[in-house]
Chain A
Amino acid sequence: MANPRELDKRRKSIRNMRRITRTMELIATARFKKAMDRASAATAYTDRITQLVSDLTKAGLEVSHPLLEPREQTESAKLLVLTGNRGFCGGFNGSLLRAGFNRWDELKTQCPHCSAEASGKKGIAGFGYRGIPLEQAFTQFEDKPTFEQVELIANRYLEAYVSGKLDRLDVVYMKFTSIARQSVAVETLLPLGSLDVAEDAQSAAGGGSLYEFLPSPASILEEVVPTSFKVKLFKCFLDSAVSEQVARMVAMKAATENAGELIKQLSMQYNRARQGRITSELMDLIGGVEALK
């Protein structure tokens, strides 16, 4: 029979843990709401950029830009993995790293020069464990990545790409589709491939445009393309931040529930052990009395 005191001790420690996980869940919920607001505020910008691009294409403009076209040969590729700085968020970091390693192996076979960069302590540790050297590592992104921070990184990539030092950029991040659904996404951001264009734009092309362009459509396009790359990268960071909070929320909720169940179980065991002990003591007493007779 288990020792009741020991059982009680375990129960107490689990209660403490439950308190912690519940607090973490609440914090994650609050942070998630904030991150979510930021992410949805960002869509206002992307929507307008998309609108702008489709208006540009309506002007009968051939969309072509060095950032959009794939290189004939990809000599050097870069992989950017966005993970969290902290754990306690279920499979979030693990699945990101797994996808990252897979893509890394693929890139290795395709391109002679590969380099990796990671954001988040967990990602850095994961790559370190695998023995993959990181060219750059970022830990400054918490749940509120700012555009200014992301722009610095984006500018570096753009510069490398334009000057020919970089031919391809892949980003691994957690895509946020809804609260109940996030999935690991591996996307090639450079070359951009194509710009998002509103659907009706293609059919209306060549129909003449209402707009007056200052300066020319081509020169505006030249600015739009790098901007849309930056915004895309920023969106990755935002999505990642939101998904991390959701993952933590879910993981901590499960942990809290599990702790509750454990406590219930332990309480039952404890009560039974206590009762058993009392019974056996009584039996002893009765036995002693019987013997004295």
Chain B
Amino acid sequence: MSDTTTSAALRCIVVTPEETVLECEAEFVVLPLFDGEVGIAPLHSPMIGRLGFGELRIRSEDDTTRYYVDGGFVQVADNLVSVLTNRAIESSKIDGEAAHEQLQEALETRALGEEQMAARNRSQLQARAQLRIANRPR
């Protein structure tokens, strides 16, 4: 293998249906998968994964960019991490109070049937993930 591939940095692209939110070089990327976080370092093996609600962290040379992502998919191949998500919001802009309200509402509503249960669970997970990010000590 040539030297260029071993030293190549990771490229990270975050797209939502509306726009390309972010396109940057990174040293290390942490993704919120559906069942926990996964770290992607350069030369990661090709992977397709389902995202959950949580925080996407992109570490480049001296700082870390944090985004809240709202489900979606990730595809990793050839040092390229493409994140497809419905929403990507900078972590600092997450509204903790709104998330708290959403959580309360989700906890209080009664769900009948599988569909509604699933919807309630989704809403809870979403709100909890946002709260976690909003309440993280800075």
A interface, CB within 8 angstroms of B: 38, 41-42, 44-46, 48-49, 51-52, 55-56, 146-148, 151, 159, 162-163, 210-215, 217, 219-220, 223-224, 227, 230-231, 234
Contact = CB atoms under 8 A, between A and B. Distances in A.
B115 A163 contact: yes
User: Contact residue range for chain B?
Assistant: 20 to 34
Contacts of B38: 214
B46 A210 contact: yes
Contacts of B87: 147-148
Contact of B47 (A42, A147, A162, A211): A211
B46 A45 contact: no
A213 B50 CA distance: 9
A59 to B, nearest CB: 9
Given A162-B115, A219-B50, A220-B48, A230 B17 contact: yes
Given A55-B75, A147-B17, A227-B73, 17 more contacts: A45-B15, A45-B17, A48-B15, A48-B84, A147-B18, A151-B86, A162-B115, A163-B115, A211-B47, A211-B77, A212-B45, A213-B48, A213-B49, A215-B50, A220-B49, A227-B84, A231-B17
Q: Which 6 pairs between the two chains have the least Cβ-Cβ distance?
A: A214-B49, A41-B19, A210-B46, A147-B17, A212-B47, A211-B46
Interface in B20-36: 20, 33-35
Contacts, number: 81
A44 B20 contact: yes
A147 B16 contact: yes
B48 A41 contact: no
Contact of B46 (A162, A212, A219): A212
A214 B44 CA distance: 14
B72 interface: yes
A44 B15 contact: yes
Contacts of A224: 73
A223 B47 contact: no
B82 interface: yes
A148 B16 CA distance: 11
A210 B44 CA distance: 12
Interface in B75-95: 75, 77, 82, 84, 86-87
Interface in B55-102: 71-73, 75, 77, 82, 84, 86-87
B77 A210 contact: yes
A41 to B, nearest CB: 4
Nearest to B34: A215
B46 to A, nearest CB: 4
Contacts of A41: 18-20
